Structure 1
Amino acid sequence: MATNLSRDAEVGASRPTVLVVDDDEDLADTCRYWLEDDDYRVRTAYSGEDALEAVDDEVDLVLLDRRMPRKSGDETLDVLREEGYEFPVAMMTAVAPDTDIVDMPFDEYLVKPVDRDDVVDTADELLARSDFSEEVREYFALEATEAALSTREREALRDEDQLVELQSELDESYEANEEAIAQREQQLERLTTVNRVIRRVDRALVDADTREAIDAAVCEAVVGTEPYRASLVVEYTDHSRGVRLREAAGPVAGDADIAGDELAGGVESAVDDGELKLLPDPDVALDGFEDGVVLVTPLSYREKSYGALVVGTASDHTISDHETDVFAQLGARIANGITAVEQRRLLLADTVAELEFRHGDRSDPLVRIATETGGELSLRGIASNDESGLTCFVDLVGGDGEEALALAAELDAIANARLVAGGDESLLELSVTEAAIETLSAVGATVRSFDVQDGDGTVVVEAAPDADLKAIAGAVQSAYDDTDLVSKREVERSVQSTESFRQGLSDRLTDRQQAALETAYSAGYYEWPRDSTAEEVAEAMDIAAPTLHEHLRAAERKLLESFVDETV
């Protein structure tokens, strides 16, 4: 039986929680996958009865099917309102709307079939509406009801007079709250605009397979959405101390010189400070940037910087706080995508740079665990985790696993710890926020091994031949005093058949599928009996078990495809 200890049970608690209720289990699970991929926490219920069991004060939003056996969605909605739940509810159903919906206390009405954008856009908008006044929320709910009924011919409705009364009530509500409604409509329009940018960029990151392709796709994705007129990806590093244009979209020329422009100062400031900068009235001699506010978003993934995304807006566009928050997050997502592409390039390279470090600094939690338990620690596997640094799996030989688990729970640098298997050879799952392997991974190196014996550790990492090796070494040595670079060499990968297999598999797997496969393998999910359950592996990745199974099924199928293609 695996043992869990966590110092921070609230990780991710700030994410909105959606309850999806549908007797079509496949659709409910698909909606869960869509929403979780958009950073929602999701619960699923496959009946009205299950929904009433699953609901509590932590639920922020409900997607509710109308036509379900035993307890219908209409009945479930009535019970939820009778019990005092005021969260927004979207009816999601194949039932054609009729005037019986006029008095139903829902906030939005979706007619199946629905796609990813329908579900996620509705969730985004309803959560935004939650902050509106009661009168304005009521107006938008009435508008949703009227919009649903307007899809039907009037003569086909049971009671045409009810639609007329509804439209009259809607007009009265608008007249009484016109200014507030207009303001909120503008807010929702901006929300839709920003979300459209996010999805366009996300699709670009999925499709791109090189850094250059990401730069071009991101610029085009941003400019393809009003009110963003022009966009640039620029390069700036502490090492170069200069700004260089990598890609451009919109009216700006792709070979524009921005080195001496005021824009360059904004880029330097954003990258150095690690935060988005607004240039309200910049003196910029570039087409597309001369009138409106300019956003400068650093492209930073953990401690690795890839420059900045620069966006020029229309002259009449005012930047909202929500917009700046989203673009700041977008910068991190783009940088994460670039990191994934570079790691994939490293995986497929014929030649890599290998760095070996001696690392005995006891401020590193892994070194401390090995030293204080008197055991030998070795890294079995590692998976990236945006919220808590890295989730790693380590073998501990000769030390007490329970003692190591208790020590891990006391260390600030470890967010979560789990004893996967005990005995003479223990396996621990550790989510580390500060460690040498986390620092090295953050600056773009791939950790190949980490072993600690008698309080002294050895770390071996690989990097692309053209990587800034001095910066990689400097990052870990500045963070940990008792760390020395022992060797640096170029390694030729000689087994072409293995690399061919890796290339075929890497081309097929998405980043999430690869992470699921590696995490499950490292956690002993494929052992028999299993060292970790699907729920435990999913928790390590901060996703739901159905989502994990979907990633694993897809990854396993692609793994077999690669095996057959390369060996048959």
Structure 2
Amino acid sequence: MDTDRSADGHPDERVAEQTVLVVDDDEDLADTCRYWLGGERFTVETAYGGQEALDRIDDSIDVVLLDRRMPSVSGDDVLEEIRSRGIDCRVAMMTAVEPDTDIVEMPFDTYLVKPVSESDVKETVEELLFRAGFDSEIREYFALESTEQALESREIEELREPEALDELRSRLDAVRTEHEAAIQYRERQLDRLNRVNGLIRDIDRALIDARTREEIEQTVCDAVADAHEAAFVLRRTAAGGLRCTAQSGFRCDPSDVDYSFVDDEFDTNDPDQVCVFDDISTEHRAAVFNGQSADHEDVAALCVPIRYQETIYGALTVYDESSEFDDESVALFSDLGATVGNGINAAESKRLLNGDSVVELEFRLGVDSDVLAALSADVGCDFSLDGVAQVDDGITCFVTASGVPGSNVVEAAVTYDRISSVRVVTDGTDESVLEVRLDGDSLLMSAVDHGASIEALELTNGSGSLALHVAADADHGAIVEAVTGTAPNVSVVAKREVEQSAQSTESFRTELDGKLTDRQKSVLETSLVSGYFEWPRGSTAEEVAEALGISPPTLHEHLRAAERKLIETYFEELNAAPADD
């Protein structure tokens, strides 16, 4: 049976409102935990004390990381109040207090002894969010098990009431005997959850070193195949078919494998689709596993899009036992597809930036081609794009408007649904600079999503031209198709290779040295080596200032000036016009 998981319960939507609260009077530790968890699939908040936690906690909180030893209102008091209010959240005690038998009757879900690592915090939150879906009796079992594990870290003679540990073990045995089948099922799920989460973190680390799309795809396949049976990546060809670009775990020549079952059921143009193929033919299993299909009768396949926002780079397909692909696995592999897509997009952007030559694609735009073109026609002015910045799911454009006051552009822009905000940055007599935030589909967003750099956009009364720079070995046809397919009245008029201007490291350093004062250089270097730019910070601003013998306000003044000069020099070099031959 083929199961399409792209409908209402898409994993990203399912977990979108989960919230984790970190409670600790050590603000640095609380902020560090928030930083560690910030890239995960949930919202993270902090409370710097017990009373602040009680003021915040309500039914919207899913997991609490709770310190025990806090002044005024202790963690034990907070835990008791949470349960007395009937708030059904999972609680992890995260404390330097060594566990003793007094914790046996405390209604927490797990117990962590400080110091804790990033992996400790992440794995705990992930597991507790998953445990939230268990029946209350099964949640009780895992909570009791966590308590037992915490107490087992102590020597038995050091415990206040050693017999309490024996009573706890008796309760554990009784609950397990009563719910053996359900507990075993949940243990298998938790084991699978931890393996997949570990796989995702391994891939995150591996992507840091991968430099090309091909390296990323092969790295992912190798990592997935180590944890499962096999994996491959498919890309859509210009002719509309699919081709395998990376694979691992196959016991055959991948060219002998028929991938039509994916082509028939999986829409590689849908960024939200996830498919589970539970009924893989004997012929296909024989091809993948080199005739050993009998050993893999229960093998199923999970197929997820490799995506960056709305851009689809291909499909990742994973083979494993059919029972492996429950809803949680689907959600995690869907996240993995997004992680890989982000890595590919970053690699494509770096390649464009570092290449000696790029391809320039020039497009002609008509009045209905984009919201900026429509706005230019509406107001009756000229637009010139000064720069763009991608923000969340939208794009911020800095536009010079000529021929009309900036207030006229703002007045017209607020009537457009796809313009979420607009403001005048500078208002001159003949021209104004405006900041325009575009949300949703747009021609510029489509170009950026496909790895293009926007070189120029010029519009006069709604018509004009757009120039994009793309890597020389990028899929130019796919980019042209994406841009021209965004809206009517968009056509490509030229494709040309251009040389990127290059500046040597030495000349860049010389130029920057000429701008920075000796004090600014000293402040930058001291801040760097002292760990001020790290997170969590190795040194505070006060500590860096003391090392330099200056006041904190003076430090910040020099830092801001030095950072501005560094950034200005970088973008002056980056945006420098190519030298004339």
For normalisation by structure 1, the TM-score amounts to 0.78
Give the Cα–Cα distance (whole angstroms) in 2 for the partners of residues 60 and 401 of structure 1: 47
Q: Does 1:270 align with 2:277?
A: no
Which structure: larger Rg? 2
Where do 1:263-342 residues align within 5 Å? Answer: 263-267=259-263, 269-272=265-268, 274=270, 275-279=273-277, 280-282=279-281, 283-284=283-284, 285-287=287-289, 290=293, 291=296, 292-314=299-321, 317-342=323-348
Give the Cα–Cα distance (whole angstroms) in 2 for the partners of residues 501 and 157 of structure 1: 65
Residue 167 to residue 308, structure 1, CA distance change in 2 (3 Å): same
Shift of 1:410: 5.2
Q: Does 1:497 align with 2:504?
A: yes
Residue 177 to residue 408, structure 1, CA distance change in 2 (3 Å): farther
Give the Cα–Cα distance (whole angstroms) in 2 for the partners of residues 418 and 444 of structure 1: 25
The corresponding residue for 1:166 is: 168
1:487 to 489, 494, 505: 494
Shift of 1:500: 9.3
User: What do the CA deviations read for 1:484-503 (whole angstroms, capped 9, x no partner)?
Assistant: 3243211112334379969x
2:212 to 210, 213, 225: 210
Shift of 1:212: 2.5
The code of the aligned residue for 1:172 comes to A
Query: Counterpart of 2:504 in 1: which secondary structure?
Result: helix
Q: Does 1:446 align with 2:460?
A: no
Give the Cα–Cα distance (whole angstroms) in 1 for the partners of residues 225 and 333 of structure 2: 14
Give the Cα–Cα distance (whole angstroms) in 2 for the partners of residues 191 and 26 of structure 1: 30
Counterpart contact for 2:363–2:492, Cα < 8 Å: yes
Residue 177 to residue 269, structure 1, CA distance change in 2 (3 Å): closer
Where do 1:59-74 residues align within 5 Å? Answer: 59-74=61-76
Give the Cα–Cα distance (whole angstroms) in 1 for the partners of residues 65 and 369 of structure 2: 47
The corresponding residue for 2:529 is: none
Query: Counterpart of 1:224 in 2: which secondary structure?
Result: helix
- Structure 1 residues without counterparts, runs of 5 or longer: 1-10, 503-551
The corresponding residue for 2:230 is: 230
Counterpart contact for 1:236–1:267, Cα < 8 Å: no
1:256 to 254, 257, 266: 254
1:88 to 90, 93, 102: 90
The corresponding residue for 1:528 is: none
- Structure 2 residues without counterparts, runs of 5 or longer: 1-12, 510-558, 574-581
Give the Cα–Cα distance (whole angstroms) in 1 for the partners of residues 373 and 438 of structure 2: 15
Residue 270 to residue 498, structure 1, CA distance change in 2 (3 Å): farther
Shift of 1:408: 5.4
The corresponding residue for 2:9 is: none
Give the Cα–Cα distance (whole angstroms) in 2 for the partners of residues 66 and 94 of structure 1: 8
Shift of 1:347: 0.7
Query: Counterpart of 2:185 in 1: which secondary structure?
Result: helix
Give the Cα–Cα distance (whole angstroms) in 2 for the partners of residues 88 and 410 of structure 1: 46
Counterpart contact for 1:252–1:287, Cα < 8 Å: yes
Give the Cα–Cα distance (whole angstroms) in 2 for the partners of residues 111 and 556 of structure 1: 40
Q: Does 1:469 align with 2:476?
A: yes
Give the Cα–Cα distance (whole angstroms) in 2 for the partners of residues 310 and 440 of structure 1: 27
Give the Cα–Cα distance (whole angstroms) in 2 for the partners of residues 401 and 81 of structure 1: 57
Counterpart contact for 2:207–2:343, Cα < 8 Å: yes
The corresponding residue for 1:547 is: none
Give the Cα–Cα distance (whole angstroms) in 1 for the partners of residues 309 and 507 of structure 2: 31
Give the Cα–Cα distance (whole angstroms) in 2 for the partners of residues 198 and 476 of structure 1: 32
The corresponding residue for 1:191 is: 193
Residue 450 to residue 178, structure 1, CA distance change in 2 (3 Å): same
Residue 100 to residue 409, structure 1, CA distance change in 2 (3 Å): farther
Residue 55 to residue 348, structure 1, CA distance change in 2 (3 Å): same
Query: Counterpart of 2:116 in 1: which secondary structure?
Result: coil
The code of the aligned residue for 1:437 comes to L
Counterpart contact for 2:15–2:41, Cα < 8 Å: no
Give the Cα–Cα distance (whole angstroms) in 1 for the partners of residues 172 and 207 of structure 2: 42
Counterpart contact for 2:367–2:377, Cα < 8 Å: no
Counterpart contact for 1:267–1:296, Cα < 8 Å: no
Q: Does 1:134 align with 2:136?
A: yes
Shift of 1:56: 3.5
Give the Cα–Cα distance (whole angstroms) in 1 for the partners of residues 34 and 412 of structure 2: 36
Give the Cα–Cα distance (whole angstroms) in 2 for the partners of residues 406 and 191 of structure 1: 52
Give the Cα–Cα distance (whole angstroms) in 2 for the partners of residues 484 and 168 of structure 1: 75
Query: Counterpart of 2:211 in 1: which secondary structure?
Result: coil
Shift of 1:475: 2.2
Counterpart contact for 1:449–1:461, Cα < 8 Å: yes
Give the Cα–Cα distance (whole angstroms) in 2 for the partners of residues 269 and 426 of structure 1: 49
Query: Counterpart of 1:78 in 2: which secondary structure?
Result: helix
Q: Does 1:343 align with 2:359?
A: no
The corresponding residue for 1:413 is: 418
The code of the aligned residue for 2:497 comes to E
Query: Counterpart of 2:361 in 1: which secondary structure?
Result: strand
Shift of 1:96: 0.9
Identity, % of aligned pairs?
44
Shift of 1:64: 1.1
The corresponding residue for 2:10 is: none
Query: Counterpart of 1:155 in 2: which secondary structure?
Result: helix
Shift of 1:118: 1.2
The corresponding residue for 1:247 is: 246
